[in-house]
Amino acid sequence: MSAGATVVALMWEARAVQGRGAELLEWARAHELAREPLRRESFRAAGDRVLVITWWEVADAGAELPELPEPTADLITRAVHRWRFESLGTD
């Protein structure tokens, strides 16, 4: 990591319409961001939920970063949940 840089993790979580979790996961994996993060990982969970975490190296923890958008309304059951975390290092 660069001197003075911070790692920010963005979490994006959505719940697909019942039975369409695989389709939502495919949609999230296929969606390209405006630039490449340090790391990007996708998860699935019961209830047709999909989670995508991206890690970014930034000079300012409040920097604007590319995020996955909302999928079409017919694919999800509620608005996407988003969280932003600043790394405190490893223990």
DSSP-based three-state secondary structure for 49: strand
Q: Which helix (H) or strand (E) holds 30?
A: helix 21-30
| pTM score, whole prediction | 0.92
* One pLDDT digit (tens) per residue for the chain, 91 residues: 677 789 999 999 999 999 999 999 999 999 999 999 999 999 999 999 999 999 999 999 889 999 999 999 999 999 999 999 999 888 8
